[in-house]
Chains A and B, each alone.
Chain A
Amino acid sequence: MKQYDKLLKDLAPQKFGMLGKIWVIFLVVIILIALYAYYQQFDKGLVITGMRDYALWGVYISNFVFFVAISLVGSLVTAILRLSGVKWATPLTRISEVIAVAAIMMGGLTIIIDMGRPDRILNIFLHGRLQSPIIWDVLVITTYLLISLLLLYYPLLPDFAILKKHFKNKPKTSKWYGKLSLNWKGSAKQERIYTKSIHSLSVMIIPVAFAIHTVTAWLFATTYRAGWDSTNFGPYFIAGAFVAGAGAVVMMMFILRRVYHLEDYITDRHFDKMGKLLVLLCLVYLYFNINEYLVPAYKYTNEEAAHLSGLFTGKFSSLFWTVIVGGLIVPVVVLVFRRGRKPLPLFIMAILVVVGAWWKRYIIVTPTLLHPFLPIQGVPESWRDYFPTLLEWAITFGTLAAALLIMTILFRYLPIIPIHETAEERGFLETDKTETL
C-alpha cells in the first residue's frame, strides 16, 4: 500500500504554483487581447484582416487545419496504441486525450472566427447542403468532439473515484470528484460496461479521426486549384496530422514531467519510444510530401508552375524550405540517434516539428489562393498579396492560448497520468482492488 500511496500522492491533481499562476495569467491576457481584436472584427467585419477577394482563406483556416491535425493525436495514442496492446503508452493517453479535446474545441471555434457573419451560423444547419464538404466537416467535427470527450471521460471514472477518496479531507473537492465518478465502485458490472465502452470508443474514434482530417483535406482537394487538386490530399493531411500530434504530445510530456515531477512515470524510455514513433511519422509524411510536390513539378502545367515556383524559389521559398528541412528533415536526422531521443533534444525537435506543422498549413492554404486561374488584374494592390494583420495575429494567438488554457485547466483538475491504469499495470491493485477504490 505504501507504493500505491506514493503513486496517488504523485499523480493526484496539484494546485498551481507561482509559475502556474503566472502562466494562466499570461494566457488570459493573450485571450483578452484576442477578444478585443475579435470585437473589432465582429464590429467592422473581415475587412480588418488581410484577407481579400483572392486570399479569402488566411491564417484562420491554416490555424483551423493545424488544430484538426493536432486533435488527431487522440486517436493515435489512445486508440491505435491501446488497441495494438502497446502498454508503454499508458502514461501518455491522458495527455493525448486532453490535447485532442482542447484542439478540436478550438478548431471548431476557429471556423466560427473565420466567418464574416457568425450570427448566421445557424444557417449552416438550416440550409446546409449535404453535397458540400463543408457540411461534412461540420458533422464530422461535432462527432469527433463528442467521441473525444467520451474517450477522455470514460477512463477518468475510476480515477475520479480514487480522487474522491484521496481528497476526503477536502469535502468540497471530494464531493465534486465523487459526482464526476458516477458512483464508480469498480463492480463487475461497472467494469464490464466500462471496458466495453472504452473498447467501442477506441475502435470508433479511428475511422472518425481519419474522416475528420480527410474531409478537411477534401475542403481543398475538391477544387481544381493548383496545389490542392490532388487525390493524395487526404492521406497527406493524415500523415501530417500524426506528425503534428505526436510532436505536441512530446512537448506536453516534457513540460508536464518537469512541472509536476513525473519522472517516475514519464521516463526516458517513453521519450525514446515517442522519438522513434516521431521519426517514423516524419518519414511517412516526407514520403507524402515528395508525392505531393514531385508529381506536379514533373508535369509542370502553367498553374502548377506558378504555384510551385512560388514555393521552391519564389516568395514562399524561405518559409517552405525552413518548414521541410527544419520541421521534418532535421528532426528525422536528430531523432535517428539514441542521444537525440533523450528528453531535452526530443523536446527541442518536437518544438521544431509543431512550429513547422503550423507554418506548413499556412503554405498549404495561402500560396494557392494567390495563384488563381485568371490573372489578377484591375484590383487594388492590397488584394494581390496576403499577410495576416496584427488583429488577425492577435486572434490567432488567442485561439492557441485558449487551447493551452483548456489543457492547463484540465491538467490542473485531472490526473495527468491515469492513476487506476498505472496502479493496475504496476500490480498495486492486485491485492484488494475494491478496498483501494
Chain B
Amino acid sequence: MIKSVISRSKSVLLIFMGVLAFLGNKAYGQEDKTSARLTVEHVKIMNENSSLNIKAIFKGEEGYEPCENLNFIIYKINEAEEISEEDSEAVSEEKIGEVKTNQEGKASFVIPSQFVTPLSTYSIRIENSDTYKDNEEDVTVIDANLEASVEEIDSIYHIKARFVSVENEPLAEQTLKVGLKRLFGSLSIGEDDSYETDEDGAILVPIEDGLTGVDGKLTFQVTLKGNDDYGTIIAFVKSDIGVPVEDQSTFGERTMWSPPTKTPIYLLLIANIILIGIWGVLLLLVINLFKIYKSKIN
C-alpha cells in the first residue's frame, strides 16, 4: 500500500517536474530574446516619394548597439470610417511591404504611392524574429505639401516656400528650415536657424551672394522637421544662381608634387645645370689622370 502510494507520488512528481521543465524551457526561450527599441520617422520628399525611416537599437554589453539585419513588416492601418460606415469600430490592416535594417540598424521603406492617403497610419512590426522580441511602432501622419521656389525681389534672390494642406489650405505657425544642400549636409541660409510660416503658410528668406556650386548650380532645401502631425517634409529647389566653382586642380601641370614626367622646367634646368657643371669638372679631372699617365709616354 505504502509502496503504491510512493510509486504514485513519484509518478506525480515526475509529471510535475516534466511540466515545470517544459514551462521553464518555454519561459526561458522567450526571456532569451532581445528587446529592440524602434524609432520611426515619416519623411515626404516633395515630387518624389514618402518613406518610413526606421532605426532599431538594443541594449548590448557595450551600451546601445544597432540591430543588424532585422526584418520589419509594414502595415497600413485602415481606420473604421474608411472601411465601413456601418461598423464604426472596425479596423483593418494591410501588409504593404517588408524592409531589413543595415549594419547601422537603419532601414528606409518607400511607401507605394497607392497607400499614401490624406491621413495615414502605418504600423511597423517585428514579427517572429529569432533574435528580437515581437514589437511594433505606429506612425500617423497627415499629408501636406511644401512648395518652394527661388524668386528675385529687388535684385536679391529669395527662397519662397509655402506650406499647405492637401486641400491647399495654408498651414500657419509651422517651423521650416532653409538650407543649401552640400555634400555632407545642409548649409543654413538666412540669418536665422528656422522660420515660422505666416498666415498664408509662407516664408521668405533672402539668399546671400557668393554661394558656390558646380557650374553655378545650387540645390536649396526647405524642411519641416519631425512635426507631430505631418512628419518630416522636404522640398528641394534647384537654381543656377550660384557662383561657378573654379577647378583649381593642378593635374597635368608641372608642379613640385607632379610625377617625374611633369617636373617643373626651372627645377630641371637648375638641377641639370648644377649636375652637368659638377660632373663635367669631375670628368675633366678623370681625363687629367689620363693626361698625367700619358705625359710620361710623350
Interface residues of A (CB under 8 A from B): 127-131, 136, 139, 143, 146-147, 150, 153-154, 157, 182-185, 187, 189-190, 193-194, 196-197, 200-201, 204, 208
Contact = CB atoms under 8 A, between A and B. Distances in A.
Nearest to A151: B285
B221 to A, nearest CB: 33
Contact of B297 (A143, A150, A183, A193): A183
A183 B260 CA distance: 46
B282 A130 contact: no
B260 A128 contact: yes
B280 to A, nearest CB: 11
Contact of A208 (B278, B285, B296): B278
10 contacts: A129-B259, A131-B258, A131-B264, A154-B285, A185-B295, A189-B295, A190-B295, A193-B295, A194-B292, A197-B288
B285 A150 contact: yes
Interface in B220-273: 255-260, 263-264, 267-268, 271
Given A130-B260, A182-B292, A139 B275 contact: yes
Q: Helix, strand, loop or mixed for chain A's interface? A: helix
B260 A182 contact: no
Contacts of A143: 275, 278-279, 282
Q: Helix, strand, loop or mixed for chain B's interface? A: helix
Interface residues of B, number: 26
Contact of B285 (A183, A184, A185, A197): A197
Contacts of B291: 193
Contact of B292 (A128, A139, A147, A184): A184
Contacts of B257: 131
Contact of A150 (B258, B279, B282, B293): B282
B292 A193 contact: yes
Nearest to B256: A131
Contacts of A182: 289, 292-293
A185 B267 contact: no
B281 interface: yes
B286 interface: yes
Contacts of B282: 143, 146-147, 150, 204
Contacts of B259: 129
Contacts of B263: 129-131
A196 B271 CA distance: 26
A150 B281 CA distance: 12
A361 B8 CA distance: 92
Contacts of B271: 130, 136, 139
B296 A183 contact: yes
Contacts of A187: 295-296
Contacts of B255: 131
Given A131-B267, A147-B282, 13 more contacts: A129-B258, A129-B260, A131-B258, A136-B271, A143-B279, A150-B282, A150-B285, A154-B285, A157-B292, A183-B293, A183-B295, A184-B292, A204-B282
Contacts of A204: 278, 281-282
Interface in B56-100: none
Q: Which of B257, B258, B281 has the most CB of A within 10 A?
A: B281
A5 B281 CA distance: 37
Contacts of B258: 129, 131
A185 B296 contact: yes
Nearest to B255: A131
A127 B260 CA distance: 7
A308 to B, nearest CB: 30
Contacts of A131: 255-258, 263-264, 267
A130 B271 CA distance: 8
Interface string B139-173: 00000000000000000000000000000000000
A129 B278 CA distance: 20
A189 B298 CA distance: 11
A65 to B, nearest CB: 23
B19 to A, nearest CB: 53
B292 A130 contact: no
Nearest to A150: B285
Q: Which 3 A-B pairs have the closest CB atoms?
A: A183-B296, A182-B293, A131-B256
A183 B259 CA distance: 49
B288 A193 contact: yes
Contacts of B297: 183
Contacts of A208: 278
Contacts of B268: 130
Q: Which of B256, B259, B260, B286 has the most CB of A within 10 A?
A: B260
A217 to B, nearest CB: 18
A207 B295 CA distance: 31
Contacts of B279: 143
A349 to B, nearest CB: 36
Nearest to A128: B260
Contacts of A197: 285, 288
A285 B292 CA distance: 41
A133 to B, nearest CB: 11
A130 B259 CA distance: 9
Contacts of A153: 289
Contacts of A184: 292, 296
A146 B289 CA distance: 14
B159 to A, nearest CB: 40
A197 B292 CA distance: 11
